[in-house]
Each structure stands twice: as C-alpha cells, then as structure tokens.
Amino acid sequence: MARRLEGRTDVTDMPGALHRLVESVTNAYTLVTEHPRPGGIRPSVWEINGPGGERWFAKQHAGPRLHRREVDAYRKWTIALGADRAPELVAADQETRTILVTAVPGRSLDKIRLPAEQERKAYEQAGELLARHHAAAGGGPKSETTEGEWEQAANNLLDRTAMYVAKHDVALVRELTKQAPPCLPRVAGHGDYMPKNWMWEETEQLLRVIDFERAELRPAAYRDLSRLRYRVLHHHPDLDAAFHHGYGRHLTEQEQLACRAYAALDALDSLSWGIQHRDIGMVGEAHTMLENLRLEHGKPAWGGWSA
C-alpha cells in the first residue's frame, strides 16, 4: 500500500476511519494537508490527492444526522445544480460517519476580494444555484409549526442563552418572535448558504457550492435566505439585487416575515454557541444579524427612538 505525506510529519494525524475510507477507493494516495474548522470542536477536513491526479476531501462527521444529510444531498439534490457546480460523492461509510468527495476549483468567496462587477456576477450565480437547489426536492409540504410550539422553542432558547446575551438583544429577539413565522413550502435547503461555502474560480468566472452537511427539507427562509439577508445582503443593495436576479424573484411578504423571525432565533443561538466555543467568526456574524434586525425594526441598542 502506498501512502505519502506532504507537509506533515505524522500520517496518523488523519483519523484511521478516514484512511480506511480512502483505501476503499485506492491503495495509493497522498495526504496533502489538514484544514481545521472554526471553533476547534468541529472535525477537520483533510485534503488528499489520488494516484491519477484526483483531488479529494475527506471528512468524519460529528454526528449521524450531519452525515445522513450530506450524503443524501449528494445523492439526491446536488445534481440539480448542474454539471461540475458542486463536489461529487466518491465514497461514504455510515457506521464511521465518513465521506470522501471530489474537490472543486476556486477559492472561498469570503477569502478573496473581487472587482465590483465580478462580485455581482458571483452573487447572481449564487442566487441561480440556490434556486436550483431549492427546486431539487419538488414542491414539498408546508412547514407546520403551531403558535404553541414556536412559543415554546423561542422561550427555551431565550432562557438558555440569556446569560450570554445583552438584555437589549434579548428584548429585541423576544419582540421579533412573538408570532410564529408563516407556514411556507419546504424546499431542499442548503442550511449554511454563505460566501464561505461558495467557491469562485476567477478564470472561468464560475461559482460552485460546497458543504452540504446541514442540507434538509426546510422553508427557504429558515436558514438559506434569512442568514444571507441579515449577515450579508442587508447593507449591500447591489449584491442583494444581483442575488435575487439570479434567484429569479424577490421575497414575498410572508417570506420576509419568516426571515425576520427565523433570523432572530438564529442570531441568538449563534451568539451563544460562538461565545461558549470561542468561535469569534460566528460571534461576529451573530452580532451583525442582531444589528441589522435592530436597524430594520427601528430599535437601536441605546433606545433613543423607535419606528
């Protein structure tokens, strides 16, 4: 068996389960490097070269749900994005929660600065690809969250996170989540559709999408549209216009209401998680969401005026 290592001193750094998964595909491969994930508690992603020049990424999921969602997405939904617009599943093992996928060209969009025209083009393609992904599951049934279930979920989160969050943020979230979001059709959601998971290849001027471990049937507003709206697009009308042009439409009034409610809980949950796990990036994104929600709602932190 031929295994070679580049840039590291101990080939056993990669978990044995991942070695076994790769070896189910080939007996000759090169372990290139480890890509640690933010927060220090998520399993790393490992970059691997195959014997014929293939580039792969191997990952061991933290839990069975993440594994099942990502494998299902590759088997059922990513084909809808079009040829070469997402990684392909090479191998997976349910027992060890491991997957091996092909690499895609490009660099993560949140790591590069593009000229304004290119950036708008990237966001337009992001909208187009998300529309395709959402349509991949067909017309799913509507979400069915009762007022009582929503109130209980919101109160539980508020109680659990109050010690980590400023009082004015708790008050804002409480106000924005008084009513359950409208019942909307469920789609094939990506679950973390952010620039960090968009790979932009400058020569081709082409966007690709990665990381489907949070993909599941959910309303489009649940994570995909709400996170993008309040973490990125709120203060960038040019990118907002480009994204929705690619998506094929603007949000309905019901979707806007749902985005606001989902984003309020998501921001609080993300802030609490980020503080507990020292994930500075997530803390920053959560604060951005809360500030944009506050601006949209017309209630600044200092309480000087209201809409």
Show the 3-state SS of the chain: CEEEECCCCCHHHCCHHHHHHHHCCCCEEEEEEEECCCCCCCCCEEEEECCCCCEEEEEECCCHHHHHHHHHHHHHCHHHHCCCCCCCEEEEECCCCEEEEECCCCEEHHHCCCCHHHHHHHHHHHHHHHHHHHHCCCCCCECCCCHHHHHHHHHHHHHHHHHHCCHHHHHHHHHHCCCCCCCCEEEEECCCCCHHHEEEECCCCEEEECCCCCCEEEECCCCHHHHHHHHCHHHCHHHHHHHHHHHCCCCCHHHHHHHHHHHHHHHHHHHHHHHHHCCHHHHHHHHHHHHHHHHHHCCCCCCCCCC
What the block records as the tokens of 264 is 């309020």
Same fold, 2-102 and 107-297: no
Q: How high is the pLDDT of residue 302?
A: 42
Domain 107-297, CATH number (from 3.40.50.12240, 3.40.640.10, 3.90.1150.10, 3.90.1200.10): 3.90.1200.10
Which residue ranges make up each domain of the chain? Answer: 2-102, 107-297
Which residue type does 293 have?
L
> Is 294 exposed, middle or buried (CB count within 10 Å of its CB: 0-12, 13-18, 19+)?
middle
Amino acid letter, residue 226: S
Q: Residue ranges of the chain with pLDDT lower than 70?
A: 1-12, 39-40, 299-307
Query: Up-side HSE of residue 193: CA atoms within 13 Å toward CB?
Result: 32
- Say what the pLDDT of residue 7 is: 40
pTM: 0.92
- pLDDT at site 141: 76
Rounded CA-CA distance 146/169 in Å is 25
User: What's the pLDDT score for residue 139?
Assistant: 72
Q: Give the residue among 47, 59, 69 at the shortest CA–CA distance from 192.
A: 69
Q: What is the pLDDT of residue 13?
A: 85
List, in sequence order, every residue forming a beta bridge with 210; answer none if it has no partner. Answer: none
pLDDT number for residue 3: 57
* Closest C-alpha among 169, 173, 181, 144 to residue 156: 173
What is the fold of 2-102? Phosphorylase Kinase; domain 1 (3.30.200)
pLDDT value at position 5?
A: 52
